[in-house]
Amino acid sequence: MARTYIKCATCEAEIKVIASSRKEVNQKAAWYVSKGTVCPVCWKTEQDKKRAAELIVATEEAISEELPELQGSEKQIAWATTIRHKLLNNIQLAYENKAEKFYFAWSAIESLLGKDMLNQLDNEFASLGLNTFSERYNHKQEFLVQFLNSDRMLRALDSLQSKTSANWWIDNRDTRASALLVAEYNATEPTLDDTPTKIVADVKAEATVRPESPLTETVAEIHLAGHEVQVSFKEKVEDFRLLMHKLQFKWMHSYWGRSLSGNNGLPDDRIAEAGNAILNAGFIIRLFDPELRRRAIAAEFELEHTRWILRVTSGEYIGWFEIKWSREEDYYKVAKKLPRSRYSKPYVVVPPESFEEVLDFAQPLRHSLADCLTINQGSFFERILYLSRLVRLKTM
């Protein structure tokens, strides 16, 4: 057994360090020094100062929040005040975690409610017929915001804040704040307005927009999952199917989906555009994001650019231009008139030496150029169009 001594970082008193070998004890001593290790006396002094500072903050915030005075001995009250402050602060942080972004982080929700309550909510969702992961996830996000601010939950929080026994806070010092809140929630008498089923119904009603004369009562629920816009519509209606194909959605066994790329514009624009088109076609829509819902109603979105001239990055025609257009348009004959153009299903490709002709072709038709187009015409000239983002030509 080897030993050595280091000096306390505060009072320079000697601190004994013990390890199994000389090498290990030297390494351990060096690590303690680098961390500013202090002796037991100084450590206790620091802890006393820390607790005193915490008590001051906890007392000031208790007065500011108008929390009731705690009952017990002087030392019990001092300790319980800091415990109450820590537990209530953990709950408050969970509430405020992403409030300005409308949704709560799921980890904060789980930390606040605990697994038992989440399992209870899952049963409620199942009773409403929400069976798929995407259906439950999208409803959970919106539902939990309402649930945490429901009258019953706020009454439970008020009941927790109103506890005045210092002993009670000390006894529950190691209990998770979420467990304390859930216990209070379960002990609080429910009303008809704050049952999970009623809250879900209210959330869905708020997010639903009806046309003047709906073709059906089935709702088209729209949301974004990763890079895919999804539309859930649980009825076979031919007009709706044709509309989905027109909007470039595909049937994905349980919903209509459209995967987006950079050329499709911003996802929010595509969601608002789809919502507006579905609504104008006479179908009821549901959008949980209030801003996207407003934009869908007001038709506030940038139209999608469907005509593109891209640089081919692989295959037989690498380095050539690829001229693309939407399925509703047909520029095959016009594009094929470009010098040395060829048909590469389903679009037309043009060699880089036809750069000037491609520009002339693009401008009147408002095509969009993208994707780092590099044109090299040997000893004559070299043109490089570097587009770090999608650049649109709007000259006419």
If you average pLDDT over residues 368-381, what whole number do you get? 38
If you average pLDDT over residues 298-310, what whole number do you get? 84
Question: Token pair of 270, please?
Answer: 């595509």
Residue 132 is predicted with a pLDDT of 61
Report whether the peptide linkage leading into residue 68 is cis, meaning its omega lies within 30 degrees of zero: no
Residue 216 is predicted with a pLDDT of 94
pLDDT band for 169, please (50, 70, 90 cuts): very high
pLDDT band for 170, please (50, 70, 90 cuts): very high
Residue 124 is predicted with a pLDDT of 64
Task: Give every CB contact of residue 83 below 8 A, 6+ residues apart in sequence.
Answer: 169, 170, 172, 173
pLDDT band for 194, please (50, 70, 90 cuts): low
For the ranges 42-51, 96-105, 366-375, the maximum mean pLDDT occurs at 42-51
Given a cut of 50, whether residue 12 has pLDDT beyond it is yes
Round to whole Å and give the CA distance between 300 and 196: 34
Residue 103 is predicted with a pLDDT of 38
- Comparing 2 with 49, the larger pLDDT belongs to 2
Round to whole Å and give the CA distance between 95 and 98: 8
- Comparing 112 with 121, the larger pLDDT belongs to 121
CB 158 within 8 A of CB 184: no
Round to whole Å and give the CA distance between 248 and 242: 10
Neighbours of 349 (CB within 10 A): 20
If you average pLDDT over residues 299-310, what whole number do you get? 83
pTM of the model: 0.49
Residue 340 is predicted with a pLDDT of 86
Task: Give every CB contact of residue 184 below 8 A, 6+ residues apart in sequence.
Answer: 156, 157, 159, 160
Percentage of residues in the chain having pLDDT higher than 90:
22
Residue 297 is predicted with a pLDDT of 95
Round to whole Å and give the CA distance between 307 and 364: 12
Neighbours of 79 (CB within 10 A): 19
Round to whole Å and give the CA distance between 261 and 393: 19
DSSP conformation letters of 233-285: --S--HHHHHHHHHTT-EE-SSSEEEE--GGG--HHHHHHHHHHHHHHTT-EE
Mean predicted lDDT score pLDDT of the chain:
78
**Strand (E) or helix (H) holding 225:** strand 219-225
DSSP conformation letters of 281-340: TT-EEE-SSHHHHHHHHHT-SPPPP--EEEE--SSTTTTSEEEE--TT---HHHHHTSTT
* Beta-bridge mates of residue 232: 221
Given a cut of 80, whether residue 384 has pLDDT beyond it is no
CB 212 within 8 A of CB 156: no
Residue 379 is predicted with a pLDDT of 29
CB 264 within 8 A of CB 274: no
CB 287 within 8 A of CB 271: yes
